[in-house]
């Protein structure tokens, strides 16, 4: 069969997690917690499952959940989205990103992608006949050079995709980044698709600057989020899109024919749980301790790194250890020393090899300690 995505194989996350399982390796590759969600949250799910909340949810999401999410958004960011018309619940942020891209991208439209980029963006653009226009961020800082972004804007530019906190490199947007982006799109018809799934995982006193907090950006942005990262429930695949009414209207037209609606009892449970801010307020500190625990072990090694500023990933340079291709090294380390990681080259269109590996530190301390001890010898 001819392929619409001839350049993709199985995603790296599936490949590395599968290999880690087969090899009995510590799995620091795919981004998911090794620990469970709050017992209170699972009790809430059981409650709703046992009490008959098991049929289709409304297309745009359970109203109580949309309301709870809008309230929380207003509390955290001071921005109001109408739960009726501007909040849509999706099956993971992956679906939200796909629907947002599909809503705005027509064949031939250009979409600016800052790379390294999460692996679902470009396939979504391609499946809609769009053209990804890349701006490559330079290691080791991965700072966005907005002048370079400006130079890539053309009359065909339909959207710019952004991601903060960033997977895989762990950078976070500053207020200046928001201002610079706003200056580029002000008085244009360019949309922003903003992946903010790690919104609550920022470190060292940093603040997550959501695109919604800048008025010029808010009016044109699809903010895509995921409850999986915040509540240690990646397997539930519950995400959402916050966008102004006109954008949400088109977004929902598409969402209703991709999944129609999202799993019901979890939405009710999350509607209740979102009202307790302690969990997400402490999440940054919780993951910062894990980052530091893991990084402390790496200090004894020849890996070089700048501590991640956000997300639950740490990238490390292995240049002082070997000059192998990062993909080969990730496979070899999984087999030989039983620690699985993700090679950063997979996040570039041309598979650029900067000699970087990504480790996920959303793991129990014992796993981090064991993996850290093994890696510290390299």
Pairing of strands 157-163, 239-242: unpaired
- From the DSSP assignment, how many helices (H) and strands (E) are in the chain? 14, 12
User: Which option in ligand GLN, ligand PMP, none does residue 30 bind, with CB closer than 5 to 8 A by kind?
Assistant: ligand GLN
What is the smallest separation between the CB atom of 165 and ligand GLN, expressed in angstroms?
12
CA–CA distance, 227 with 150 (Å, rounded to integer): 33
Stretch that binds ligand PMP, among 88-96, 139-147, 264-272, 340-348 (CB under 6 A): 88-96
- Spell out, one character per residue from 139 to 168, where the chain touches ligand GLN: x when CB under 6 A holds, - when not: ----------------------------x-
| Pairing status of strand 191-195 against strand 221-226 | parallel
Closest approach, Cβ 91 to ligand GLN, in A, equals 12
Contact region for ligand PMP (CB under 6 A) — 49-57, 92-100, 107-115, 321-329?
Answer: 92-100
Sign of the C-alpha dihedral computed for residues 78, 79, 82 and 85 taken in this order = negative
Beta strands in 82-173 (DSSP E): 87-90, 110-115, 131-136, 157-163
Neighbours of 278 (CB within 10 A): 8
Residues 31-60 that bind ligand GLN (CB under 6 A): 31
- How far is residue 9 from each of residues 3, 14, 352, measured CA to CA in Å? 11, 10, 17
Distance CA 56, CA 34 (A): 30
228 binds ligand GLN (CB under 6 A): no
Neighbouring C-alpha atoms within 13 Å toward the C-beta of 57: 27
Q: Which is nearer to ligand GLN, 268 or 305 (CB)?
A: 305
Given ligand GLN, ligand PMP, none, residue 99, with its beta carbon under 5 to 8 Å by kind, binds none
**What would you report as the CA-atom Rg of the chain, rounded to the nearest whole angstrom?**
20
Quick check: 243 and 221 in contact, CB under 8 A? yes
Decide whether 31 or 130 has the Cβ nearer to ligand PMP: 31
- Whole-Å CA distances, 304 to 156, 318, 319, 369: 40, 7, 8, 18
Alpha carbons 180 and 163: distance in angstroms, whole number: 15
Nearest approach in angstroms of CB 133 to ligand PMP is 20
Site string for ligand PMP, 167-206 (x = CB under 6 A): x---------------------------x-x---------
Q: Is the peptide bond before 338 cis (omega within 30 degrees of 0)?
A: no
Tell me the closest approach of the beta carbon of residue 305 to ligand GLN, in angstroms: 18
**Residue 228 binds: one of ligand GLN, ligand PMP, none (C-beta under 5 to 8 A by kind):** ligand PMP
Beta 342-343 vs 339-340: how paired, if at all? Answer: unpaired
Q: Which of 15, 27, 28, 30 binds ligand GLN (CB under 6 A)?
A: 30
Q: Are 53 and 264 in contact (CB under 8 A)?
A: yes
Distance (Å, whole) CA 355 – CA 13: 18
Question: Measured from the CB atom, is 25 or 342 closer to ligand PMP?
Answer: 342
- Judged by beta carbon, residue 190 or residue 197, the one nearer ligand GLN is 197
Site for ligand PMP, residues 151 to 170, rule: CB under 6 A: 163, 167
221-260 residues near ligand PMP, rule: CB under 6 A: 226, 228, 234, 237, 239
Closest CA to 232 of 56, 26, 40: 40
CA dist., res. 214 & res. 219, Å (int): 9
Count residues contacting ligand PMP (CB under 6 A)?
14
Binders of ligand GLN among residues 165 to 184 (CB under 6 A) are: 167
CB of 376 to ligand PMP, least distance (A): 27
Nearer to ligand PMP, 9 or 235 (CB): 235
Chain residues binding ligand PMP by CB under 6 A are 31, 92-94, 118, 163, 167, 195, 197, 226, 228, 234, 237, 239
In the complex, the residues that contact ligand GLN under the rule CB under 6 A are: 11, 13, 30-31, 167
């Amino acid at each position: 069969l001819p392929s619409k995505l001839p350049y993709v194989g199985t995603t790296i996350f599936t490949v590395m997690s599968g290999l880690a399982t087969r090899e009995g390796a510590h799995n620091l590759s795919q981004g998911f917690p090794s620990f469970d969600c709050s017992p209170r949250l699972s009790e809430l799910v059981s409650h709703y499952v046992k009490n008959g909340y098991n049929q289709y949810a409304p297309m745009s999401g359970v109203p109580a959940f949309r309301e709870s999410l809008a309230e929380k958004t207003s509390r955290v960011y001071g921005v109001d989205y109408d739960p009726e018309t501007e909040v849509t619940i999706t099956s993971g942020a992956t679906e939200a990103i796909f629907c947002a891209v599909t809503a705005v991208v027509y064949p031939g439209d250009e979409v600016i992608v800052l790379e390294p980029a999460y692996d679902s963006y470009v396939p979504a653009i391609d499946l809609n006949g769009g053209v990804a226009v890349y701006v490559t961020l330079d290691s080791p800082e991965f700072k966005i050079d907005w002048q370079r972004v400006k130079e890539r804007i053309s009359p065909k530019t339909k959207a710019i995709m952004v991601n903060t906190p960033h997977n895989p490199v762990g950078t976070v947007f500053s207020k200046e980044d928001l201002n610079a982006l706003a200056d580029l799109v002000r008085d244009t018809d360019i949309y922003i698709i903003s992946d903010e799934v790690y919104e609550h995982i920022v470190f060292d006193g940093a603040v997550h600057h959501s695109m919604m907090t800048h008025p010029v950006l808010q009016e044109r942005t699809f903010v895509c989020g995921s409850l999986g990262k915040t509540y240690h429930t990646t397997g539930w695949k519950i995400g959402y899109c916050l966008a102004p009414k006109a954008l949400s209207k088109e977004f929902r037209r598409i969402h209703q024919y991709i999944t129609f609606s999202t799993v019901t009892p979890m939405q009710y449970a999350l509607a209740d749980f979102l009202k307790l801010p302690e969990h997400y307020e402490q999440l940054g500190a919780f993951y910062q301790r894990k980052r530091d625990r893991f990084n402390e072990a790496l200090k004894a090694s020849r890996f070089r790194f700048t501590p991640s500023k956000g997300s639950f990933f740490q990238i490390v340079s292995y240049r002082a250890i070997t000059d192998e291709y990062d993909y080969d090294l990730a496979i070899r380390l999984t087999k030989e020393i039983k620690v699985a990681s993700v090679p950063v080259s997979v996040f570039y269109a041309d598979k650029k090899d900067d000699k970087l590996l990504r480790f996920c530190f959303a793991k129990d301390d014992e796993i981090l300690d064991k993996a850290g001890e093994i890696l510290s010898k390299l």
